Amino acid sequence: MKQTRRSGVLLHPTSLPGPFGSGDLGQSAYHFVDWLCVGQQTLWQILPLVDVGVGNSPYMSPSAFAGNVLLIDLEQLLEAGWLTKQELSPEYRFDDHRVDYPAVTRFRMSRLRMAAARFQEKTDSPAYEAFEAFCQSEAGWLDDYALFRTLDAMGSGTSEGWQNWPEKLAMRDPHALSKTAEVYAADIHLWKFCQWCFHEQWMKLKAYANEKGIMIVGDVPIFVSLNSADVWSRPHLFKLDTHGRPLVVAGVPPDKFSDTGQRWGNPLYDWDAVAADNYRWWIDRMAHTMKLCDVVRVDHFRGFEAYWEVPADAPTAITGRWCPGPGAALFHAIKDALGSLNLIAEDLGVITSKVIELRQKLNLPGMRVLQFAFDHNPDNFYLPHNYEPDSVVYTGTHDNNTTVGWWNAASEHERDYARRYLAVSGEWIHWDLIRTALASVASYAIAPMQDILGLDSAHRMNEPGQPTGSWEWRFTWDQVEDWHAAHLAEMTSLYGRAHAEKTLDTDTPRLKT
């Protein structure tokens, strides 16, 4: 089947403009969808929608299911009558260019707590009926999540996580949990209210995008945070000791970017236990994510073939080893339960023939990153003449420098090859790479918003290995000029990626098992 050529923009909602310290699901999100339409784009790629964790990372979330409460649009809560104008007055506005997570979290959570209390006062309203229906339908993850966040917020935990809670709470003694739920019912209600608000607002925004022919490309991290509701509620699925502490942790081996590799610290799955449970947790997780997105990027795909296991007491990833992952069995189970899904394999890193074989067996498109292409090797996997249609090309990803930043830091040897390969001067390198991506045979072509705006390295989203300072970038509408969308639309149309229709088609790459 011929695959539709599409293109889009990578921008996480936290990076949107907005008055309350971080981007959210409010007016600017809808305006961004409209801007994508003007630019003839049909994909909006985001990062994981989950709550952020250590280092403000959405890849270290306290839940694999719960939406990021900082994305809740407070102005919609004002319209519902759960907040007052004074509580959202201009005196509470924040910096437009960075997300100050501690300050933003304090402000937004205080307003969400106010709204939740007022919402609780009218339990006979249609809205409350919808809330109760949501709580019932999502109880499989929501109950544990709300209790976990309540325990964490009330000080039962420490910076080291739930393993240091009082033993009966850490080990989930039924009587202790029941008593806590009774005493802290208002706090549990708060977290459930926040998740309902997030879900209602996100589904409304997604419907708006879909009506305009724009597909949402989401993201599923392969691993979860140790300090998460998932590990606390299902410790048997992970390689932990009897106290809930990891025996081994995730990472990647040493490479040209790091002599010591990367020690991520996430707990690793006990894949035998996951399989014995018929992959139920993964199936539920994927089903939940597919309700929120139209296409899902599967993070660290190579880890499903084999993953790098690092002893928990090792300070670096050097002493790790490769261990077999679940392979096709996991994806067979997902397809058997959910049917065909639109997935993208994030196949970056140490990629072997076995990883490629698994991806191809599952009929999943892989990723190509143009910033990795120009090393004077014509066989380079990331050069456009080596692409195949079942691929997704990026100028750069959220883990890369911006294209302008990459160009400024590149060696003259690398820049020389890029100039000759692309037949350009390099003075407009960000648009040169966008054009190259759009012109390629890859089914999907995606550029970060920073590249469309021509921003330098000060505006990158994430710098792997740096514990602080990432995930904070935001843009303002003052930075976006009319010609940005017009130029993007011209090239998108020129290379056959623009679509006049306003309905979503189904001839996109799908999981095949």
Q: DSSP secondary structure string, 130-153?
A: HHHHHHHHTHHHHHHHHHHHHHHH
Cα angle value 182/187/192 (rounded, 5°) = 105
Handedness of CA 16, 20, 21, 22 (dihedral sign): negative
User: Residue 258 has what pLDDT?
Assistant: 81
| The residue type at 409 | A
Burial class (CB in 10 A: 0-12, 13-18, 19+), 245: middle
C-alpha pair distances (Å), 381 with each of 391, 400, 415, 451 = 11, 17, 18, 22
In the chain, how many H helices and how many E strands? 19, 12
Given a contact cutoff of 8 angstroms between Cβ atoms, the answer to whether 253 and 302 are in contact is no
For the chain, 513 residues long, give each residue's pLDDT as a single digit of tens.
Answer: 346 899 999 999 999 999 999 999 999 999 999 999 999 999 999 999 999 998 999 999 999 999 999 999 999 999 999 999 999 987 777 878 899 999 999 999 999 999 999 999 988 999 999 999 999 999 999 999 999 999 998 764 445 689 999 999 999 999 999 999 999 999 999 999 999 999 999 999 999 999 999 999 999 999 999 999 999 999 999 999 999 999 999 999 988 778 899 899 999 999 999 999 999 999 999 999 999 999 999 999 999 999 999 999 999 999 999 999 999 999 999 999 999 999 999 999 889 999 999 999 999 999 999 999 999 999 999 999 999 999 999 999 999 999 999 999 999 999 999 999 999 999 999 999 999 999 999 999 999 999 999 999 999 999 987 888 899 999 999 999 999 999 999 999 999 999 755 444 434 333 333
Runs of H (alpha helix) within 89-173: 101-120, 126-137, 139-153, 167-170
User: Residue 461 has what pLDDT?
Assistant: 97
User: Residue 3 has what pLDDT?
Assistant: 64
Distance CA 94, CA 14 (A): 13
Which residue do the tokens 């924040």 mark? 94
Q: What is the pTM of this model?
A: 0.94
Distance CA 490, CA 39 (A): 8
User: Residue 94 has what pLDDT?
Assistant: 82
Residue 343: DSSP 8-state:
E
- Alpha carbon distance, N-terminus to C-terminus of the chain: 16
Distance CA 317, CA 311 (A): 8
User: Residue 500 has what pLDDT?
Assistant: 59
Burial class (CB in 10 A: 0-12, 13-18, 19+), 339: exposed
Given a contact cutoff of 8 angstroms between Cβ atoms, the answer to whether 292 and 341 are in contact is no
Handedness of CA 420, 425, 428, 432 (dihedral sign): negative
Residue 293: DSSP 8-state:
-
Residue 246: DSSP 8-state:
B
Contacts of 362 (CB under 8 A, 6+ apart): 328, 331, 343, 345, 511, 512, 513
C-alpha pair distances (Å), 167 with each of 93, 173, 179 = 42, 8, 15
User: Residue 435 has what pLDDT?
Assistant: 98
Q: How many CB atoms lie within 10 A of CB 130?
A: 12
Distance CA 107, CA 88 (A): 10
Given a contact cutoff of 8 angstroms between Cβ atoms, the answer to whether 70 and 100 are in contact is no
Which residue do the tokens 């270290």 mark? 60
Tell me phi and psi for residue 72, to 5 degrees. -65, 130
Name the residues annotated as catalytic: 299, 346, 399
Distance CA 135, CA 141 (A): 10
Distance CA 359, CA 223 (A): 19
Distance CA 226, CA 461 (A): 23
Structure tokens at 150: 């309540």
